[in-house]
Amino acid sequence: MSETSAWFAGPKGENGDWFAGYVGKILQDYYAWRRNYFPEDGLVIDAESRRAGEAFQDRFDDRLFELLARLKADFPFQSPRYAAHMVTEQTLPAIAGYFAAMLYNPNNVTSEAAPVTVRLEMEASRMISKMVGYGDDSWAHLTSGGTLANIEALWIARTVKYLPLVIHDMRQVLGLTASEISFGCSPQVALHALAALFDEAPARDAIRAYLESPFNIVEHGYSKIIAKLQSNPVVLAPETQHYSIKKALDVLGMGRNSLLTVKVDQEFRMDVEDLQEKLHQVESRGDHVVAVVTIVGTTEEGAIDPVGEIVRLRECQQQSFWLHVDAAYGGYLRTVALPDRLGLGEPKAHVSLNGIRHEVDLQLPVGNTCDSLDAMSGCDSVTIDPHKLGYVPYPAGAICFKSDIVKAIARQEAPYIEDSIGGVEAERKSGNIGLYILEGSKPGAAAAAVWLSHTLIPLDKSGHGKLIQEGIRNACELHALLEKYPSLVEGTHCQAVPICAPGSNILCFAFRDRSHRCLKDLNEFNRDIYERFNVSDTSGKRVYDQPFFLSRTSLHNHQYSLKTVSPFLDRLGVTAEEYEREGVFLLRSVLMNPWYTEAKRRGRYFISELVENLYSAADEVFV
């Protein structure tokens, strides 16, 4: 048995007994804390009052029983039979941390409301920031999730873009020598120029000059700045972008039309040549790039953009821009490369089909993937979701900034949180959270969960990287089995067609049969297969009746260019015209579950069984 088996409850709750003892200890400790706080205060609820509450306790017992019964209809995320969405086991330390802190109900908006868990959040965020590759002068904090983190990253990027113009105004008003930085300088140069200015002038005077600059977008909004510049802001993101990017542009007042989409290649990774062409288009029409968003772990395909190439491209541009990594899903992949590269093991796997063992070759994502993960440290901000591949309970997202100077331009006024005001250095040293973020109240329990899990399970190849390695290998095993099943098992009439080899631990695919079918029919057949691996309110099925679970997604021409999907369409046997008219319905599997290898050691090959069930369903549908 591997050490990782002790990190989770287990698909059958195998570790439940000893963990339940810890839950009991948490409750005993918490109520002992209550009893020992000024014990001389005496009781408020005496024995007679407690007896008067027996009727409520009876009702409580009934309703709790009903709630527990209802929850049994939830999906079995802990089971290796569940391979659908980005949800699986949570680590036992994360559950314990959340449960323990939840009892105290801390609000991490400020240390005045949560003196303990705010510090835990800063420590946990530092671990995540270090995992990204950032140094001691970075800043990170937890959020409700990746959507909020992405919005906050672009919120800061928007402000930093116009910072060189603001600094020029400030130096002029303050009687300082003219600024040497240009409008198109790199974000990090602009931030450090702001910090340097505060070393030359009194903080209050500098702050007043900052607020009064006509290029201060926080104070004056976009309309005045666009009118002065005669140039429109643009954000670039790949076709695989998460919907939160457009949401951010809506919220920030830039408008969704300010998004310029970059093509992706056949592996659904950003096309760097197309990015370079789009950057040239923006510059040639007189507009300006606020940010480029690159993705590590696309939510649909699990693809990883060539971050290193994009970082190098930015270095060659005359006009720089904020570079943000949306690694909400894939950020923890970096643990396989810390402190050096763990590797993904032998490119082979043992499988079992109809009781016969086979060895299949795996197409592992190596080389370029690790290069991209290493290059994340060269970007200005990174979004990561502990509640996904961090195996931590919801809600727990995170946003990491390369420089803590961003706190000075993110600061919001809230006298009941903190009433002092200082320069950039004072803001950088501040241990506060709520003054610098978009959210207000936020659960300290999430911080405790992340902190306890990441202190016990290191964010490197000795700990968390083992989980990531297994997930990637499992997706590659599923990919190999889906492609090779017809050659290993006689009598099947169908063929699974993956859109591409896995870039991480997600795989999308569709089935076709041996006869030529139009895409409309293929979509209907694959929808039928999906319904056999899903439980919905209208299906009439119970979770207990469902042996395996999958999710689904689709490809459409308004999102993915024909160039991107053409190789997949050729393998599927459909035309470009059909794709543009119909789109492609896909089956999708996320291999996050940590139990596949352990199950194999006991003779259960759940991925092989999933493939057998899929092909059986496909044969029935296509007959």
Does residue 367 carry a pLDDT above 70?
A: yes
The rounded distance, in Å, linking the Cα atoms of 465 and 471 is 10
426 band by pLDDT with thresholds 50, 70 and 90: confident
- Could you give the C-alpha distances from 75 to 41, 44, 79, 83, in angstroms and in order? 47, 42, 9, 11
Structure tokens belonging to residue 385: 């979701």
Res 36 pLDDT > 80? yes
> At 302, which helix (H) or strand (E)?
none
> What pLDDT, on the 0 to 100 scale, is given for residue 420?
57
User: Model confidence at 417, in pLDDT bands (50, 70, 90)?
Assistant: very low
Among 310, 374, 452, which residue's Cα sits nearest to residue 134? 374
Burial class, 484, CB count within 10 angstroms (exposed 0-12 / middle 13-18 / buried 19+): middle
Contact 341, 368 (CB under 8 A): no
pLDDT attached to residue 1: 54
Q: What is the mean pLDDT of residues 314-325?
A: 95
Given this model, what pLDDT does residue 314 score?
97
Q: Which domains does the chain have, with CATH numbers?
A: 1-41+73-91+461-623 (3.90.1150.10), 124-337+349-460 (3.40.640.10)
**Residue 421 has what pLDDT?**
58
Give 571-589 pLDDT, tens digit per residue: 999 999 999 999 999 999 9
Model confidence pLDDT, tens digit, residues 243-267: 999 999 999 999 999 999 999 999 9
Please give the mean pLDDT across all residues of the chain.
94
| pTM listed for this prediction | 0.96
381-384/397-401 β-pairing? antiparallel
Residue 71 has a pLDDT of 95
- Give the pLDDT confidence score for residue 110 in this predicted structure: 87
| Higher pLDDT among residues 493 and 125, named by residue | 125
- Axis-axis angle for helices 606-622, 519-531 (nearest 10): 130
Give percent of the chain with pLDDT exceeding 90. 90
Distance of alpha carbon 127 from alpha carbon 237, whole angstroms: 27
pLDDT digits (tens, 9 = 90+) for 113-122: 999 999 999 9
pLDDT tens by residue, 493-502: 999 999 999 9
pLDDT of residue 226: 92
Q: Is 60 exceeded by the pLDDT of residue 416?
A: no
| Residues 74-119 pLDDT 10s | 999 999 999 999 999 999 999 999 999 999 999 999 888 999 999 9
* pLDDT for res 415: 42
pLDDT of 277 above 80: yes
Q: Confirm if 360 and 484 have CB atoms less than 8 A apart.
A: yes
